[in-house]
Amino acid sequence: MVADWYDGLTLATEWRPAAEGVAARYRLMLTNDTGEALRDFRLGISGPARVSDDAEIVGAKVVTQLSNFCELAPERGFVLAPGARWTIDVLKLDYPIRHWTDGATTGFLVLADGTTRSLRTVPTRREGSDTLRKKGTAIYEVPEHPPVPVSIVPWPQDVAVSGRRTAPAGLAPIPSAIGKSAATAFGKLTEKLFPGEGLVRPAHEGGFPVELVAGAGGKEGYAIEFAADRARIIGETETGLLYGLITLGQILRGARIHLRQFNFPTSGRIEDAPAMAWRGSHLDVARRYYAKDEVERFIAILAWNKLNVLHWHLSDDESWRVEIDAYPQLTGKGAWRGYGMPVPPLLGSGPERTGGYYSKADIHAIVGFATEVGVDVVPEIDMPGHCYAMLQAIPALRDPGENAPYYSIQSFPNNCLNPGVEATYGVVEAIIDEMVELFPSRYFHVGADEVPEDAWHSSPAANKLRKELGVTGAAPLQARFLQRLQAYLTSKGKLTGAWEEASHGGGLDRANCYLVGWKDTAISQKLAAEGYDVVVAPAQAYYLDMANSEDWHECGAAWAGWSSPEKSYGFEPIAGWSAVERGHLLGIQACIWSEPMTDRAVFDRLVFPRLSAIAETGWSSNRDFNRFKALVGLMPNLYGRYEGF
């Protein structure tokens, strides 16, 4: 029996960027301090960086590889003596490493009997660099003299308040014919986000009376009238009143925490309504699993930012996360990763079985909470591409005649549902049947991104369909697949959502869909001009997996560039759009892809405060980074990790 080697074995990785006359090099170093000689083993790694298929590798050979999982073997008879180090040089990766989160974040040994041993894995260093790794939300100090007297994010349409009183101990909402649900939702929201702060209190505990009354306001607008001994919120809907309470709660927290800098007013008025109808955030729970409580807290944060859509990315190549009764193997196999399993360790998951999925009861609770706080949960099942996990769970959906591989951009082989395999439609429809029961949203997002151009090239079933339709390539087949899905969703009363690529090869019925433009804003504008309703989510500014700056010490990805909070904040999503194009704008959203989120503190650094920057763009007609910077430090993050803590 082999001892637990965790303490004695260390994997370190080092990146040397390409320079004049020097090739890029990714070096893996395994050091043996176990006191025993190691033989007959292989090294498994997982983390965002991908060893290229045609990479020259010095010191090892690749035994198996799938996307960013790679198993490397030393030469036959190799012995790693006590105190010795095994060095492997990989001379080509699919893309260069630009930040410390890019390299292997998990390493493990595979022994001759097939068992595995975890080992300590040190985050990647760049050659010659120090070990500083930035994590945690950047700290935004409240200035001595903030440019505005009250703390509110996103900034309202019109603020005309005056007077000043000591921040009350809490708020005591008083519903009338309207406002019961808003008051309850506000209580749950503040309890989740700021437990122990007592933001809601009865009058006898010093709660400040807040009357909730019916009046104008539209779907999400509200007004607040201040008096010395009470405030009144006027709204037309429960959501409007909730947003009024959120504004008051933010004012209260600011005045309480920074009593010199911010006021709790005693007179005047705030008038508010959103600029855009769709103010969303996408969350990828497929690359990384987020527990039910984390998702609910994230939803609470959305509401606190007056964001109203969660685009919930529930499946991808790396996993499947929704319980489906008709196909228990989807979660039985697809929700888990591990060595020797249908889905191997990926993106830093280890050799042991890890993952998770949302049971129907979980989804019911999550969607119920979201609805209460004004957040519409739009589910996404990503199809026909990004389906490796689903196809591993239900291999019968592959065409048995397909005999050659094609690869996705993330290097997954044959990862697309096959439009020529008729059984696919029955399975997908059964999944939709169950999911429409779980998600009351008008929208159902079907993915449609990144199908490789040569998808299904060797599939007889796909080629038969190509012949029938008189088409070539992948796009028309994908369009045909999506059109069938859309017809089914329409019959269920749903509008079909998809990424921009759903417009390729024939497109969708524009009256019953919306598309998310992600490559740049020009594409969103073009889709709007073609008559598609669009949500604008350009990767250059709204992809929160992109690092905050070019600095190596920052965490995150870089394929679409870098975006500081200031850049995300100042970004104009619909500059130059015509009135007709604007007529097709639903709104904007952040996208949170989870490949780099190996550490919760990385999530906090990447997502905050950029999420609030995007929220303010969706809500306010009056933006000012200086004001935003002074206020955003009061906004919550997901895990409570701040830079330097």
Q: Which residues are catalytic?
A: 450
Under rule CB under 6 A, residue 518 binds ligand TNX:
yes
How many residues make contact with ligand TNX (CB under 6 A)? 9
CB of 560 to ligand TNX, least distance (A): 7
Smallest CA-to-CA distance from 284 within 298, 270, 273, 272 is with 298
Residue 12 or 539: the one with the smaller Cβ distance to ligand TNX is 539
Residue 161 or 378: the one with the smaller Cβ distance to ligand TNX is 378
Residue 390 or 461: the one with the smaller Cβ distance to ligand TNX is 390
Determine which helix (DSSP H) or strand (DSSP E) holds 526, and give its type and residue range: helix 521-529
Q: Rule CB under 6 A: choose which of 320, 369, 543, 628 binds ligand TNX.
A: 543
Alpha carbon distance, N-terminus to C-terminus of the chain:
41
CB of 590 to ligand TNX, least distance (A): 12
Return the bridge partners of 208, or none: 171
Please tell me the chain's helix, strand, coil percentages from 3-state DSSP, rounded to the nearest 5: 30, 25, 45
Q: How far apart are CA 134 and CA 554, in angstroms?
A: 5
Q: Rule CB under 6 A: choose which of 362, 376, 449, 616 binds ligand TNX.
A: 449
CB of 287 to ligand TNX, least distance (A): 7
Under rule CB under 6 A, residue 406 binds ligand TNX:
no
Residues 247 and 272 sit within 8 Å (Cβ to Cβ): yes
Residue 89 or 449: the one with the smaller Cβ distance to ligand TNX is 449
Q: How far apart are CA 379 and CA 112, in angstroms?
A: 43
CB of 139 to ligand TNX, least distance (A): 26
Sign of CA dihedral 144, 150, 156, 160: negative
For ligand TNX, what does the binding mask look like between residues 244 and 273, x meaning CB under 6 A? ------------------------------
- Residues 536-549, buried b or exposed e (16+ Cβ, 10 A)? bbbbbbbbbbbbbb
Smallest CA-to-CA distance from 524 within 512, 539, 514, 534 is with 534
Under rule CB under 6 A, residue 450 binds ligand TNX:
yes
CB of 386 to ligand TNX, least distance (A): 6
CA atoms within 13 A on the CB side of 322: 26
Q: How far apart are CA 263 and CA 269, in angstroms?
A: 14
Residue 80 or 285: the one with the smaller Cβ distance to ligand TNX is 285
Residue 226 or 518: the one with the smaller Cβ distance to ligand TNX is 518
CB of 547 to ligand TNX, least distance (A): 11
Residue 355 DSSP SS3: strand
Residue 100 or 499: the one with the smaller Cβ distance to ligand TNX is 499
- Subset of residues 478 to 517 that bind ligand TNX, contact rule: CB under 6 A: 499
Residue 327 or 518: the one with the smaller Cβ distance to ligand TNX is 518
For ligand TNX, what does the binding mask look like between residues 595 and 614, x meaning CB under 6 A? x-------------------
Which distant-in-sequence residues (6+ apart) come within 8 Å of 388 by Cβ? Answer: 317, 318, 343, 408, 412, 413, 415
Residue 104 or 597: the one with the smaller Cβ distance to ligand TNX is 597
- Report the side by side order of strands in the sheet with 267-272: 158-162, 267-272, 222-226, 231-235, 207-214, 170-174
CB of 178 to ligand TNX, least distance (A): 40
The secondary structure of residue 643, as a DSSP letter, is T
Per DSSP, which regions of 17-131 are E strands? 25-32, 38-39, 41-46, 57-58, 61-66, 69-73, 79-80, 85-90, 106-111, 116-126
- Subset of residues 557 to 596 that bind ligand TNX, contact rule: CB under 6 A: 557, 593, 595
CB of 574 to ligand TNX, least distance (A): 20
Residue 315 or 459: the one with the smaller Cβ distance to ligand TNX is 315
Residues 362 and 119 sit within 8 Å (Cβ to Cβ): no
Q: What are phi and psi of 615, to 5 degrees?
A: -60, -40
CB of 440 to ligand TNX, least distance (A): 24
User: Would you put residue 356 in left (φ > 0), alpha (ψ -120 to 50) or beta?
Assistant: left
CB of 450 to ligand TNX, least distance (A): 5
CB of 591 to ligand TNX, least distance (A): 7
3-state secondary structure 238-293: HHHHHHHHHHHHHHHHHHHHCCCCCCECCEEEEEECCCCCEEEEEEECCCCCCCHH
Residue 415 DSSP SS3: coil
Under rule CB under 6 A, residue 412 binds ligand TNX:
no
Residue 167 or 283: the one with the smaller Cβ distance to ligand TNX is 283
Q: How far apart are CA 335 and CA 395, in angstroms?
A: 15
Determine which helix (DSSP H) or strand (DSSP E) holds 209, and give its type and residue range: strand 207-214
CB of 544 to ligand TNX, least distance (A): 9
Residue nearest to ligand TNX (CB): 449
Residue 247 or 503: the one with the smaller Cβ distance to ligand TNX is 503
Q: How far apart are CA 10 and CA 28, in angstroms?
A: 10
Smallest CA-to-CA distance from 573 within 617, 543, 513 is with 617
Q: Rule CB under 6 A: choose which of 372, 545, 554, 604 binds ligand TNX.
A: 545
Query: Could you please report the per-residue DSSP string of 420-458?
Result: T-THHHHHHHHHHHHHHHH---SEEEEE-----TTTTTT
Query: Could you please report the per-residue DSSP string of 554-588?
Result: S-SB-TT----HHHHHH--TTTT--HHHHHTEEEE
Residue 618 DSSP SS3: helix
- The burial of 396, by beta-carbon neighbours within 10 Å (0-12 exposed, 13-18 middle, 19 or more buried), is given as exposed
Contacting positions for ligand TNX (CB under 6 A): 449-450, 499, 518, 543, 545, 557, 593, 595
